[in-house]
Chains A and B, each alone.
Chain A
Amino acid sequence: MLRVVSRKSGNLDTGSTQALSPGDEAALIARCRAGERAAQDLFYARFRRQVAATLYRVLGDRTDLDDLVQEVFVIAFRGLANFRGDARLSTWLYRVCVNVALGRMRLRSRRPQAFGVDDLEAASAKSVDPDRPETPERAMQRAQDRARVYRALDKMAPKKRIVLYLHEIEGLDLKEIAYLVDSNAVTVRTRLFYARKEFYKLVATDGDEQPAAGVADDDGDDADGGAP
């Protein structure tokens, strides 16, 4: 039913190559299924940056990123045999990335690791807004904001975190998210509602000993997404 994941911002394929036509995509899949090494190399070369960028942005640091990229491609090459073509190849691969990232989040929640958002900051040190020149103060503020985002995400349950990330940061709609997390839109909507409340509360109270008296739990007015 779902064919393409559209995105408000960012691009699944961060490489310079153009998107494959459906015919080329089908041919590439068939060659990969047949075990043709050159086709697998092409598949890998085309999607490796997309996979790495997705995992990097979802998780916020590059700890074990090599292993995760490897895992995604191993799963992808194995799973191509069962790929039915009900979504674009890049969308399907994005789904595998999401599942691998979810697995890593769950692993982290059981075995906390050093927080590595500094890596992400270093990688995207340039100013996002060209009209506003980067000043040391602004750079520091942006770094703090990003660190706060990932600190809050790290405190959330993986299922809520991934839904929030896909909607708020990647800009996907409910049906697209439902496909990626193998759920239905109603569940995603409910999960997103609670995830938003939790995330923004965590951001607002980040670093405080106890929640500030002035931070409301809920004002009962959620125009974007609405209550479940």
Chain B
Amino acid sequence: MSRHVAPARWAQLGRGKVSDGDRARMLAHADDCRDCARARDRVLGAVDAFAAITATPAPELGWDHIRARVYWATSSERRSRERTAEFAKVRRRRWALALVPAVAAAGAAGVMIAASGGGAPDEPRPVPATAVVTPSAPAPAPTPLRGVVTLAVGRVALDRAASPTEVMAGPVAVGSALTTTDGRVAVQFGEASSFALGPRSTVTVRRFDAAAIELAIVGDGELAIEVAPRAPGQRFTVDVGDRTVEVRGTAFEVRHRDGATEVACAHGLVALIDDRTGNEVLVGKAQTLTVADRAPLAGQSAVALDASGVAALTAELGPRLPGWTDASGIDRTSAPLAVRAPVGRAVRVDGVVVGAGEIALRVMAGRHLIETEVSAGRFGAGEWVTTATGALTRVEPPPEPVVPPSGARVRRAELASAVDHGQIAACIRSLAKQGIGDTHLELEVGVDASGALGFLNVVDTDLPASMAACVRDTVAAIQFRPGQAATFRYRFNF
């Protein structure tokens, strides 16, 4: 019996890369050898399967949902780039806004006192944009609520807590103030009820009990809210500055930026009501409405949101934990997890990207795999951590290996000056005699601190092997000076 055939040879046969003689010998052998015949059938089947795999189309996925999640993950980073300049500008503007009415009021008071001898003028004070969710039928003995922070990313603050980890620990209750600069915070306060602050927002919790939830957006800000379907007869209202939004069980977002209020509704129905005139505009499912602060509501109408806009709206609410009974129940079943990744580096928890940079989030107790991005799209070796209920688990990815300053440039220049160019020319003389030019050879060179060659590899060339070896040997003869260790590539173009 002839020699057995290696499986890879069958693949070559399947691609027609075997000579006729070898082909006949291999097939003849397979006729006599049952094992080789089976290997042949399997390998040729696999080669055929490649074409089918290549032709496989993309499966249908929830494209809009994915887009929304991408938007959620990237928008905070995008805005962080604008943050430094804009945040300072916003603060200056707030100071100016606060000073102007004060100066005006003081001036007017002085005039009135001078004219009438007493009584301050009843000047309207600037009203911060507020979002108020208020059941119209107050419970007789409202039970105080406590919100649980489920996600904190980037630069965020809760009262005196000023890092994601501290924010995660603190409860959200009456009097709490949440602030984001370049980050996001998501707070859950029921099985299907949560709110999330977008970047550059400040929200204070004015009332937080079973009867009413009253949140106030201070200055500009973004607040996405989802409240569970209301009980029969129960109503909710949202006030935004001098306007009121009436909502029922719904998911919506209120945004106050640059002197305009934007209300977007994912599902349910929202009515934006002008407190002064009583005019109202309905914002229904998958609709949005943007109105300047002092503009009349009459004639305004909501416009449709596209599917990706709706999905983005829902995604902005952030994660929610399952099995909500109350905040303490979540404390008993979940575990806070803090990951301190380098700025801008994505973090994956159990294979899912949750954000970038310093992150704190709530996970269910148990084992989780934490991975940190080390370069674009490339995650380092993950770390398994075991989280226990109630106990904060900190994960600090090991710092990226510090690459010593490259001495490649110095070593490259040293090679260029020290190499025996005459010898190099001699190596390729036969080619030159034949008039063959435009050839090259690229070397990968490793030189240690003492100047000794660590390695010297030909990584790319179109020279014959003997010439390449000659050039390589010529370079190998170079005596490098002691100095910085370096690994570099050097290309000879002939």
Chain A residues with CB under 8 Å of chain B are 9-10, 14, 35, 37, 40-41, 44, 48-50, 52-53, 56-57, 62, 64-67, 69-75, 77-79, 82, 95-96, 99-100, 102-104, 107, 110-111, 119-120, 123-124, 128, 141-142, 144-146, 148-149, 152, 168-171, 184-186, 196-197, 200-201, 203-206, 212-219, 221-224
Find out whether the CB atom of A223 lies under 8 angstroms from the CB atom of B59.
no
Per the bound structure, the CA–CA distance linking A62 and B66 in Å amounts to 14
By a CB distance below 8 angstroms, the chain A residues around B48 are: 142, 145
Q: How far is the CB of B283 from chain A (nearest CB, A)?
A: 20
By a CB distance below 8 angstroms, the chain B residues around A64 are: 351-352
Find out whether the CB atom of B9 lies under 8 angstroms from the CB atom of A52.
no
**Number of A-B residue pairs at CB separation under 8 A:** 223
By a CB distance below 8 angstroms, the chain B residues around A96 are: 376-377
| B79 nearest CB neighbor, chain A only | A35
Find out whether the CB atom of B59 lies under 8 angstroms from the CB atom of A146.
no
Q: A142 with B52: in contact, given A41-B308, A71-B353, A111-B369 (CB under 8 Å)?
A: yes
B77 at the interface (CB under 8 A from A): yes
B38 at the interface (CB under 8 A from A): yes
Find out whether the CB atom of B46 lies under 8 angstroms from the CB atom of A145.
yes
Q: How far is the CB of B44 from chain A (nearest CB, A)?
A: 9
We find that the number of chain B residues with CB closer than 8 angstroms to chain A is 71
Contact of A217 among B6, B34, B36 (CB under 8 A): B6
B140 at the interface (CB under 8 A from A): no
Within 8 A of A (CB), among B1-48: 3-12, 15, 17-18, 33-36, 38-39, 42-43, 45-46, 48
Find out whether the CB atom of A218 lies under 8 angstroms from the CB atom of B66.
no
B62 at the interface (CB under 8 A from A): yes
By a CB distance below 8 angstroms, the chain B residues around A149 are: 46, 49-50, 53
**8 nearest CB pairs, A to B:** A214-B35, A200-B7, A53-B58, A204-B39, A145-B45, A212-B35, A99-B377, A204-B7
B235 at the interface (CB under 8 A from A): no
Find out whether the CB atom of B66 lies under 8 angstroms from the CB atom of A215.
no
Find out whether the CB atom of B377 lies under 8 angstroms from the CB atom of A215.
no
Q: A79 with B377: in contact, given A145-B48, A184-B459 (CB under 8 Å)?
A: yes
B446 at the interface (CB under 8 A from A): no
Q: Beyond A203-B43, A221-B6, list 18 extra A-B contacts (CB 8 Å).
A: A9-B51, A14-B58, A50-B58, A64-B352, A74-B346, A77-B78, A78-B346, A79-B377, A103-B377, A103-B379, A124-B57, A146-B52, A186-B459, A200-B11, A201-B8, A214-B4, A214-B33, A215-B4
Per the bound structure, the CA–CA distance linking A203 and B14 in Å amounts to 14
Within 8 A of A (CB), among B59-96: 59, 61-63, 65-67, 69-71, 73-74, 77-79, 81-82
Find out whether the CB atom of A103 lies under 8 angstroms from the CB atom of B371.
yes
By a CB distance below 8 angstroms, the chain A residues around B143 are: none
